[in-house]
C-alpha cells in the first residue's frame, strides 16, 4: 500500500485555487444540523479586501443561512495521486448588488439564473488549505487521454 502525506498550503496557493474555480460548496447550520450545498461563486479582490460572492434565490436555505459559514473547494488528480482542498471560514452578509457597480463588476454568473436576485458575500476570517500527496512514483498515464 502506498504512503500518503498531507501538506499545508500557503495563502497564495489557496488564493490561486480560489481564483481559478467557479463552483464550491457552502456549509452552514440549519435547524441545528450542518448542511452543505453546491454554489457558483466569484472571488472579489479590491482595495486590499477579499470576498467570496454568491447569488441565490430569495427565501431559500442559503439566503436565510446564519452569518457564520464555511466555503470549500477541492480538486483531485488521480493520475498523479494528488488532491487538494481549500477552506474559507467567514461571515455571510447580504449586499445591495446595485451599490458601486457591484452587479456589473462582480457577478458570480450562477448556472441557474432564474430568480437569483439575492446577493451574498463571505468575508473570510480564515483561509486554509491542504494538499495530499502519494509517495507512489507511478507513470502519469490515463487511458482517457488516448480515446
Confidence (pLDDT) at 136: 64
What distance in Å separates the CA atoms of residue 84 and residue 145, rounded to the nearest whole number? 22
CATH number belonging to domain 4-146: 2.30.110.10
Q: Which of 58, 54, 30 is nearest to 43 (CA)?
A: 54
Q: Which residue has the cell 504512503?
A: 3
Does 37 score more than 90 pLDDT?
yes
Q: Residues of the chain with pLDDT > 70: what percent?
A: 82
Start-to-end CA distance of the chain, whole Å, equals 29
Give the CA angle between residues 12, 86, 39 to the nearest 5°. Answer: 120
Confidence (pLDDT) at 5: 76
What is the average per-residue pLDDT within 99-110?
70
Tens digits of residue pLDDT in 51-97: 999 988 888 999 899 999 999 999 988 877 789 999 999 999 988 87
Phi, psi for residue 101 in degrees, rounded to 5: 65, 20
pTM for this model (two decimals) = 0.83
- Domains of the chain, by residue range, sit at 4-146
What distance in Å separates the CA atoms of residue 69 and residue 85, rounded to the nearest whole number? 16
Phi, psi for residue 14 in degrees, rounded to 5: -60, -45
Q: For residue 103, what are the β-bridge partners?
A: none
Confidence (pLDDT) at 18: 96
Amino acid at each position: 500500500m502506498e504512503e500518503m502525506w498531507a501538506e499545508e498550503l500557503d495563502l497564495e496557493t489557496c488564493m490561486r485555487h480560489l481564483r481559478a474555480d467557479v463552483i464550491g460548496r457552502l456549509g452552514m447550520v440549519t435547524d441545528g444540523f450542518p448542511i452543505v450545498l453546491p454554489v457558483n461563486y466569484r472571488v472579489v479582490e479590491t482595495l486590499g479586501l477579499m470576498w467570496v460572492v454568491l447569488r441565490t434565490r430569495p427565501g431559500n436555505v442559503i439566503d436565510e443561512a446564519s452569518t457564520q459559514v464555511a466555503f470549500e473547494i477541492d480538486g483531485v488528480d488521480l493520475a498523479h495521486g494528488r488532491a487538494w482542498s481549500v477552506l474559507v471560514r467567514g461571515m455571510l452578509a447580504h449586499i445591495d448588488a446595485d451599490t458601486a457597480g457591484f452587479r456589473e463588476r462582480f457577478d458570480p454568473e450562477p448556472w441557474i439564473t432564474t430568480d437569483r436576485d439575492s446577493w451574498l458575500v463571505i468575508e473570510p476570517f480564515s483561509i486554509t488549505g491542504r494538499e495530499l500527496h502519494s509517495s507512489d512514483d507511478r507513470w502519469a498515464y490515463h487511458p482517457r487521454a488516448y480515446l
